[in-house]
C-alpha cells in the first residue's frame, strides 16, 4: 500500500510542477494572433479585383500557448485566399507550436449577368448584358467581369435573364468554318503570297486552322476574322 501511495504522491507532484511551470510561463495573446492573421490576409489579397473584406474567426481563449517572439502566419496546403479559408500560425521559439484559424475573404466587385434571355448559339452584344455588384467568392468559378470578355461571343447553352455569365458558357465566334473557302496568306521580308483553300476544321480567331489547297496539300495556320488563315514558313 505504501508503494502505491508513494507513486500517487509522485504523480501529483509532477502535475503540480507542470501546472506551476505553465502558470509561470508567459502566455501568448490570442488577440495579437488574430491581428497577425488579418494583416497576412490583407497583404496576400492585395492584388484581387474590387473591394476585399477580410474577417478572422475567433481563437478559443482557453487554448494555452506559450508566448512567441515572432508568430508566423502561413497558408496551409489546400487552402486558398478566397471565400471561407484557413490560415495557420506557427511558432519556432522559445516553444514550438502551430494552430489554425478560420477566416473569410469576400471580394465585392462588378460582374456580368444576362439582361435578357439568351438562346443557344446567339451572338452576344452589349444590349444582352448588365453589370451587377456582389461577392465573387459566393459565385461559381469563371465569372465574367468585363464586357470585352463576352461581346462578340455566342452562348453555348440557353440562359435566362439575370443569369451570371461564366466563361465556360460562352464560345468565341468561328472565324473559319469547316468546308469554307478560305484565303491562305503568308508574308515575310520581301515577299507576300496568298491562295485559296478549303477549311478542314472550325476555328475561332487565334486558333489553329487546317486547310487543303487545290493541289491537295494540307497546311496549318492561325485563323483570322473574315475567313483568313495566316501561314508561317
- Per-residue pLDDT of 186-231, as tens digits, reads 887 778 889 999 999 988 888 899 999 999 999 999 998 888 999 9
pLDDT value for 21: 47
Distance CA 207, CA 184 (A): 14
Q: Which residues contact 99 (CB under 8 A, 6 or more apart)?
A: 33, 59, 63, 65, 88, 89
- Mean pLDDT value across residues 145-154: 91
Q: What does each C-alpha distance from 74 to 7, 46, 144 come to in angstroms? A: 44, 16, 30
Percent of the chain whose predicted confidence (pLDDT) is above 90:
67
- Mean pLDDT value across residues 91-111: 95
pLDDT value for 28: 93
The sign of the dihedral angle between the CA atoms of 11, 12, 17, 20 is positive
pLDDT value for 129: 96
Side-chain half-sphere exposure of 77, counting CA atoms within 13 A: 0
Residue 183 near residue 229 (C-beta atoms within 8 A): yes
Average pLDDT, the chain: 88
Whether pLDDT at 14 is above 60:
no
Amino acid at each position: 500500500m505504501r508503494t502505491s501511495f508513494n507513486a500517487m504522491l509522485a504523480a501529483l507532484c509532477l502535475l503540480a510542477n507542470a501546472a506551476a511551470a505553465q502558470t509561470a510561463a508567459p502566455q501568448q495573446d490570442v488577440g495579437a494572433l488574430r491581428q497577425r492573421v488579418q494583416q497576412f490576409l490583407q497583404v496576400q489579397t492585395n492584388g484581387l479585383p474590387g473591394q476585399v473584406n477580410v474577417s478572422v474567426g475567433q481563437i478559443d481563449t482557453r487554448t494555452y500557448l506559450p508566448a512567441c517572439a515572432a508568430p508566423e502566419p502561413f497558408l496551409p496546403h489546400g487552402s486558398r485566399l478566397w471565400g471561407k479559408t484557413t490560415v495557420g500560425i506557427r511558432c519556432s521559439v522559445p516553444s514550438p507550436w502551430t494552430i489554425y484559424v478560420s477566416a473569410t475573404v469576400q471580394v465585392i466587385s462588378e460582374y456580368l449577368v444576362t439582361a435578357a434571355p439568351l438562346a443557344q448559339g446567339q451572338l452576344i452584344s452589349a444590349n444582352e448584358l448588365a453589370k451587377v455588384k456582389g461577392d465573387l467568392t459566393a459565385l461559381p468559378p469563371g465569372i465574367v467581369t468585363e464586357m470585352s470578355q463576352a461581346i462578340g461571343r455566342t452562348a453555348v447553352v440557353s440562359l435566362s435573364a439575370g443569369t451570371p455569365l461564366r466563361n465556360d458558357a460562352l464560345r468565341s465566334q468561328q472565324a473559319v468554318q469547316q468546308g469554307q473557302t478560305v484565303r491562305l496568306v503568308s508574308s515575310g521580308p520581301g515577299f507576300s503570297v496568298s491562295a485559296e483553300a478549303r477549311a478542314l476544321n472550325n476555328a475561332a480567331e487565334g486558333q489553329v486552322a487546317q486547310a487543303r489547297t487545290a493541289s491537295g496539300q494540307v497546311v496549318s495556320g492561325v485563323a483570322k476574322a473574315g475567313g483568313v488563315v495566316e501561314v508561317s514558313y
